[in-house]
Chain A
Amino acid sequence: MYRKHVSGLLLAMLLLLAACGTSGAPPTVGGVPAPSAAASGGASPAASASPTEVVPPAKGDKSAISVWAQANNVETARAENIDSAAQQLGFKAEAIADPTGWGDYKKKFLLAADSGQAPDIILSGHEDIAPWGQAGYIIPLDDLINANQETFKNIIPELWKSVEWNGKRWGIPQDTEARPLWYNKQKLADLGWSQQEIDSLPDRIKSGEFTLDDMIATAKQAVEKGVVKEGHGYWHRPTKGSDFYQYYFAYGGALDDGSGKLLFDKAAAEKWFAFQRRVVEEGITPKNFIGTESKIWHETVTSGEVLFFNGGVWNFADWAKNYTKDKGGEEYLYGFVGWALQPSGEKGKPGVTLSHPLVYMVTSEKASGEQQQQDAFKAVTAATTPELNNKHALGSAHLAILTTQLDTPDYKANKILQGTAYMLEYTRFLPNNADFGTYDDIVFRAMSAAENGEMSPAEAVSMVADELQTELGDKVVIK
């Protein structure tokens, strides 16, 4: 009897344990298996770094022009383009398309650079220019750019701003993007919007007629009328990332004070944090939303369940290939997905977007142990062509970096790239400042706490101001 009870108890514990160990099957949406590859993130670094071993790949042929470029199953051309350009020039090339997350990728580069084993060319976000330039791992490129004006005069002028630091240019833009407000045209129609109203939404956002307040009101109405489920009126990015700063900009905020110092505008930030809280309180975004798995986010928005959602233009290629291929891919998406700028927070002011160009940087002799910076730059120059960049832009839904790309037939025929190209006129960049990572950590945590209701927007802003003052002292301007 006694043994029976003990065995029963053990079995109950076993069931509990089994519950935690048997559910490895991938989730399905509407009975359709979820895609195996999660190419989320696009031009944005992954939110969480995994504690995997960070070992710089061994450098093989010393005479080869080596390049590292972060990659996923949609964005493979970054390394391939340098490889083919180098080969056209008659150089040996060693291209590594690195599938690890951005965190580990950058750590690898740091360790490699400090031990003189870095590649000759490194592709990364433009915000790495400040810390890597300060460390002496990359070289300024002004002289080389000026000597190759034939190629570089075609770079879209706005993009040069992203590679400037300390009065010099340290990188060559490889891609850029806009971060649209995606909207579900079908759901707007179900809500009673006329075709004309739906079609004019991007223009109304551009002119400042349709603001974030209007977006909240529309999403709330959709929830109330049962057009979308509770909490499915508006989904912002689910994880840490630069996208959130668009709302800060939308309320008049800026990240730098114009003299190179970081800036925290308390009034704009409080409005931004209040917006994040409101979307939860109004029932258009789920409670405890920040931290939702990216894969679940993508599956939900691409199955047409959400009215408004934020992402990057690169999501379109990812969704077509990894989430909706069996439903028709791009054609299926064009059927219900519309795009516009992020609405302004203030009536009459234009919408905004944020670009995060990835750039090729040429490493210093200290970092690579090589003296082939000139050849490396030649390879980057040779890769900066409409043909090669189109390969990347069209394949991964990234915007053109060359004016000469815009007129190519393939680019012109691409509906999503053509449709979002105008957004670059309204774009902002993150600051090239070595302390931006510290700034971002503090702001993101406070913003999340405000959205969760853990702090009021005012308390969160005050906490950010105090933390920034403690951490960065006079390197940040708080106004």
Chain B
Amino acid sequence: MAESTVHPPSKALVAQPTLSHRLRASATALLFLLPAAALVITFFIVPVIITLYISMTDMSTSTFSDPNFIGLQNYSRMFRSGAMGKIVRNTVFYVGTTLALFNVGMALVIALLTTHIPRRSGAFFRALWLLPRITPSVVYIMIWKYLAADAPFGVFNQVLQPLGIAPENWVLAAPWTMVILVNGFIGASFGMIIFTSAIESIPESYLHASRVDGATALQTIRYVILPLLRWPLLFVMTYQTLSLMTSFEQILLLTDGGPGYYTTETWALQAYHRALSNYFGNVNFGLGAALAAVLVLIGVILAIVYLRVFRFGELVQEPKIETL
């Protein structure tokens, strides 16, 4: 039997698609992408460019309509500020602690607990945990302030005093604890929903199999459920890290970055204070924009790091079974 050799067709024989062919072929796809692209450009790209521009000007109340271009002076001023070291440490502490204890930790605990009880009861408990998120920020913070207020006003003190704990204004006595609790109670609900839906989508057969193998509930969680939650964990962790880095309204309303010397001032709050809130009027939009621009950069870097660490590419690749 004569061996047949299969040669690839020579390039000259294969018709190469022209540019217009290629454009025509992808026209439909581009058309469908257009609305989303327009939104992204209008609401994400353009604001970033405007922010970068403002950050290189001396725009303030007194120069609002006629700012001068000052290059990188705002960035230099920002990094020379003696307070920046503390603000960076505060931001890392706030994001890391709230994320670990509540936005991922507590969220996972609630999701696991509520999926191990009857479905309706689980839904009820989860709905309750949504209350802090749906309560308007100002009302929510006022409630916390009066819970934590000094005697004879605060509810915490009414509970703690009989236990021999001296009454305090707890927001001012333990500001970080309060900031983390206040934000964590809101943040936990997001992960709770994501983790719950992920847990409920795990095929029952996996859980039954683990029971048949004699696994305890904790072992089932450790060896079956948690490994299958890798993607939701990555998503919640990435999303909530960025969210915590940029959110500040609860801290603003609760402690306004105090008490004392930038005790609870985070990067985003500092950007707000510089750009939009000055007690005696003359706000520095330029400096605030520089702070915001660096925050965006840090956010992008962190997102890339997360995606690399969790091997995002592998998580979202198409199942091999469908490519056979």
| Chain A residues at the B interface, C-beta cutoff of 8 Å | 2-3, 6-7, 9-10, 13-14, 17, 19-21, 23-24, 27, 45, 47-51, 103, 106-107, 110, 114, 124-125, 127-128, 130-132, 134-136, 240-241, 286-293, 296, 366, 430, 434-438, 440-441, 444-446, 448-449, 451-452, 454-455, 460, 463, 466-467, 470-471
Contact = CB atoms under 8 A, between A and B. Distances in A.
A445 B282 contact: no
Please indicate which of the listed interface residues B80, B259, B273, B280 has the most CB atoms of chain A within 10 Å of its own CB.
B280
A130 B253 CA distance: 29
Q: A24, A130, A437 — which one has the most chain B CB atoms within 10 A of its CB? A: A437
B117 A45 contact: no
A27 B146 contact: yes
Nearest to B257: A445
Given A24-B143, A455-B261, A470 B77 contact: yes
A437 B283 CA distance: 8
Contacts of B118: 3
A471 B64 contact: no
Contacts of A240: 279
A438 B284 contact: yes
Given A6-B113, A452-B259, A23 B143 contact: yes
A437 B193 CA distance: 44
Given A291-B256, A470-B77, 20 more contacts: A10-B117, A13-B125, A20-B144, A21-B143, A23-B146, A48-B252, A48-B253, A128-B280, A132-B61, A134-B62, A286-B150, A290-B259, A292-B169, A292-B172, A434-B282, A437-B278, A445-B258, A445-B261, A445-B262, A466-B82
Nearest to B285: A110
Contacts of B258: 290-291, 445, 448
Interface stretch (B20-28, B127-135, B197-205, B297-305): B127-135
Interface string B167-198: 01101110000000000010000000000000
Contacts of B81: 467, 470-471
Contact of B259 (A10, A124, A288): A288
A48 to B, nearest CB: 5
Given A49-B277, A286-B150, A448-B259, A467 B172 contact: no
B82 A470 contact: yes
B1 to A, nearest CB: 69
A103 B283 CA distance: 11
Contacts of A135: 61-65
Contact of B139 (A24, A49, A436, A437): A24
18 contacts: A6-B113, A10-B114, A17-B129, A17-B131, A19-B147, A20-B143, A20-B147, A27-B153, A48-B256, A130-B282, A131-B61, A135-B64, A290-B259, A437-B279, A437-B280, A444-B279, A452-B259, A455-B261
B235 to A, nearest CB: 24
B282 A288 contact: no
Contacts of A454: 260-261, 263
Nearest to B181: A20
B30 interface: no
B45 interface: no
B256 A47 contact: yes
Contacts of A434: 60-62, 282
B280 A27 contact: no
A14 to B, nearest CB: 6
Contact of B282 (A10, A14, A45, A435): A435
B229 interface: no
Interface in B236-281: 249, 252-253, 255-256, 258-263, 272-273, 276-281
B121 interface: yes
A381 to B, nearest CB: 26
B220 to A, nearest CB: 12
B116 interface: yes
B252 A110 contact: no
Contacts of A466: 82
Contacts of A23: 143, 146-147, 155
A17 B261 CA distance: 31
B117 A21 contact: no
A26 B77 CA distance: 44
A134 B68 CA distance: 14
Nearest to A436: B280
Contacts of A132: 61-62, 281
Greatest chain A CB density within 10 A among B62, B139, B279 is at: B279
B50 interface: no
A290 B283 CA distance: 23
Contacts of B137: 51
A10 B116 CA distance: 11
A163 to B, nearest CB: 15
Interface in B77-97: 77, 80-83
B149 interface: yes
Contact of A441 (B80, B147, B150, B273): B273
A460 B261 CA distance: 9
A138 to B, nearest CB: 11
A430 B280 contact: yes
A437 B149 CA distance: 29
B5 to A, nearest CB: 68
A287 B63 contact: no
Contacts of B155: 19, 23
Contacts of A463: 82, 261
Given A21-B132, A441-B273, A288 B117 contact: no
B77 to A, nearest CB: 7
